[in-house]
Amino acid sequence: MVPPTAVATPDAATSPSNAAIGSPDAPAIKDPVKDTILTPRFYTTDFEAMAAMDLSPNAQELEAICEEFRKDYNRHHFVRNEEFEGAADKLDPETRKVFVEFLEQSCTSEFSGFLLYKELSRRIKTKNPLLAECFAHMARDEARHAGFLNKAMSDFGLQLDLGFLTANKAYTYFKPEYIFYATYLSEKIGYWRYIAIFRHLEKNPDSKIFPIFNFVENGCQDENRHGDFFDALMKAQPKSVTGLRARLWCRFFLLAVFATMYVRDVARKEFYEALGLDARDYDKYVIAKTNETSARVFPVVLNVDHPKFYTRLERLVRNNNQLSAADQGSAPAPVKLLRKLPFWAANAAEMAKLFLMSPIRSEQFQPAVR
């Protein structure tokens, strides 16, 4: 972990808008949700190593991706229209609560991406201009996404204090290749999550509980392009996706991302119900698609069709329910801790078993693209 000072204050020009804060009619500032392993994280990395990165093994593809970023397809996309007026008042209190949580989590993740990309572009600007430019374009997109989500929160009389978050969140240090795995997966899983919701709502327009969902189709194409950028970057650093070490780390990151999402989404299944979706079915679809996509660059992917895979994820869900139950009530902290220990241990054991399940070599899984 490094102190938050390692991350500079974002440029005002590209920062997600917090302009309403401080004005007499400003919405209430929302306290960030309590940090758990399931809440979005903020990352920092080794900027020197990033700056020194040799892109020549895949420079052409990276240049082509940068050219796509320059086109800025969504420059005029995120503009609110009259549909937003009064839309928040139409939600019943329960749906409102879960929807605000969704907005908050999504806004925090977008903002976390913005901070990381912005800082990367700033720190490597002189030494690695192509990479720096790509990160700057991605920071632009994430700022837009975060700003748009934050504006939707203000429809509910709330707003995230992004400045406060920047200064007070703990930053997790990841060396560059772990940043590649984690951000690649979060971009691709973000794409599949948003596109799955979009396609479902296209077929079931009555479940469109808020006009923000009209914007996800174009928005998720940004995430898809960001994912493709990390795919190309990993191919420029072949060591990151070849050999035993890479195979182990790719398995680890796939599992961490899938398990976290599954446990979190099942815990807030009411949000998916409000959209007419079953959280488990939705997650299974997103996991299958992300796993399949990852085989284009990761040397191995997970065998998510193995009958034990979801049995074990369900055990994590149950342990997590027990952990939350142990947290309730008025027992003193040490007693709560003792009650939680067995469930933590059980979770660790399940994760270990999941990790040790045989993965699938990507060339077997997607021979055509590799």
The residues binding Fe ion (CB under 5 A) are: 110, 142, 145, 187, 223, 226
Residue closer to Fe ion, measured from CB, 110 or 283 = 110
Element of type H or E holding 118: helix 93-123
Residue closer to Fe ion, measured from CB, 43 or 365 = 43
Question: Under a CB-based contact definition with an 8 Å cutoff, are residues 31 and 209 in contact?
Answer: no
Angle in degrees, 0-180, between the axes of helices 307-327 and 243-267, rounded to the nearest 10: 60
Residue closer to Fe ion, measured from CB, 123 or 145 = 145
Tell me 124's DSSP state. S
> What is the closest distance, in whole angstroms, from the C-beta atom of residue 62 to Fe ion in the complex?
16
Closest CA to 275 of 193, 192, 219, 210: 210
Other C-beta atoms lying within 10 Å of the C-beta of residue 242: 12
> What is the closest distance, in whole angstroms, from the C-beta atom of residue 226 to Fe ion in the complex?
4
Tokens (6 digits) for 234: 């990993």
> What is the closest distance, in whole angstroms, from the C-beta atom of residue 222 to Fe ion in the complex?
6
> What is the closest distance, in whole angstroms, from the C-beta atom of residue 218 to Fe ion in the complex?
11
Amino acid identity of 251? Answer: R
Alpha carbon distance 208, 274 (integer Å): 9
Residue closer to Fe ion, measured from CB, 16 or 299 = 16
Residue closer to Fe ion, measured from CB, 155 or 222 = 222
> What is the closest distance, in whole angstroms, from the C-beta atom of residue 239 to Fe ion in the complex?
24
Sequence-distant (6+) residues with CB within 8 A of 72 are: 137, 140
Residue closer to Fe ion, measured from CB, 142 or 283 = 142
DSSP helix, strand, coil percent of the chain (3-state; round to 5):
70, 5, 30
> What is the closest distance, in whole angstroms, from the C-beta atom of residue 113 to Fe ion in the complex?
5
